[in-house]
Amino acid sequence: MTKQRQKLLQKIATEHGTPVFVIDLEQIRANYREFKEKLPKVQAYFAVKANSDPEIVETMYELGASFDVASLPEFMLVHENIKHLPKKEKQDFIWDKIIYANTIKPAHVLTKLNCYKVLVTFDNIEELKKIKQHAPDVGLVLRLRVPNTGSMVELSSKFGAHPGEAVDLMAEAINLGLGVEGISFHVGSQCNNFDNYMQALNVSHSIFKEAKLRGLEIGFVKNGQRTKVLDIGGGFPVKYSPDVKSFTILAKKLNSEISRLFGKNRVQVIAEPGRFMVATACALVTKIVGKSIRDGKTCYYLDDGVYHTFSGQVFDHQHYPLHSFKDGEKKICATFGPTCDAFDTISLADELPEDLQIDDLLYAENIGAYTTGSATFFNGFPPAKVVYINK
């Protein structure tokens, strides 16, 4: 981090107190532009669960993004925050700009979604029966089970139909009078194994081919032509560390394979980037509220922890190294959150100066994804304040 950015974070912490979560909206714009530049034929459906801050939602909409939601509150958050914004003339949004990508939905949620006729995913026969009863007007996308090997967070143990059952499930949906628009898959969050995408694309192509041979009409009709939906999910890697593979390389592979497999067909390719859009756009400033020496190691107690912004270490399996604004010889130190729970341990191996004092500030970078979204009020400690820059 540059000295200029460090000074800005310190100024924000002085003005607003700590802990403070700083969202750089210009960095989000830059991340979106990179995604569109490298995957120009893919419509980005921002995964709201990565960071549901309303300013981020509005920024993504203004850039031209659509949205992937996984709950009714997320759906309403998007709907309420964009319905007042002007529609861009050149934007070609489909399905009211939202896909509900949770394969399991309560009946009352389906009833609500039916009013909006959005896209929803499914992966089993029982869900189809619910959809038929409560949301017969929505568009359906079949979620496939695909390899998640090498991804930081795997998803296929909970979601996705086996490829061998896929065409039968689509046929059953059509027999029920429902409209099947296409196929989706997710190779797992923070995917560092690009073969997962290649395998999933080839499986999807085979399923579309089998569905055609069986005479199934898959896709949505627009201007008299039928177009299939191919949702390639998320998992696009963020460079948290040097060993993470390049998104540029992945994009080249995706463009090539999508063109080879689907270039001669009418296929609308969409994706669900979440982490990619927000991870690098946010920083946290936290304050040392206590200090001790335990078993010869310096321990710092902070006003933020794993029940709050650092919750991503638990639920997302991602570590966020802490840094000091002050210089000094670095030693291996322990960092703890503010709650009365030993589980609230940020790290036992942060490299920090051991002469820091109470009220000194620390910061963490690249902390925008799956962090504040899962923060709690445990022990009565509120989540970090949010401050926006470059609005």
Among residues 191, 282, 333, 340, the one annotated as catalytic is 340
Burial class from Cβ neighbours inside 10 Å (0-12, 13-18, 19+) for residue 71 reads middle
Structure tokens at 274: 């979440």
3-state SS assignment for residue 300: strand
In sequence order, the 6+-apart residues with CB closer than 8 A to the CB of 86 are none
- Distances 156 to 162, 281, 335, 348 between C-alpha atoms, Å: 10, 28, 34, 32
Q: Write the DSSP symbol of residue 144.
A: B
How far does the chain reach from its first CA to its final CA, in angstroms? 20
Phi and psi angles of residue 284, each rounded to the nearest 5 degrees, phi first: -120, 135
In DSSP terms, 364 is beta-bridged to 284
CA dist 60 and 82 (Å) reads 10
Structure tokens at 18: 């700590």
CA dist 286 and 186 (Å) reads 34
Active site (annotated) includes residue 282 = no
One-letter amino acid for residue 36 of the chain: K
How much is the CA Rg of the chain, to the nearest whole Å?
Answer: 23
Structure tokens at 327: 């210089």
- Please name the residue that has the structure tokens 């419509």: 43
Residues belonging to the active site: 340
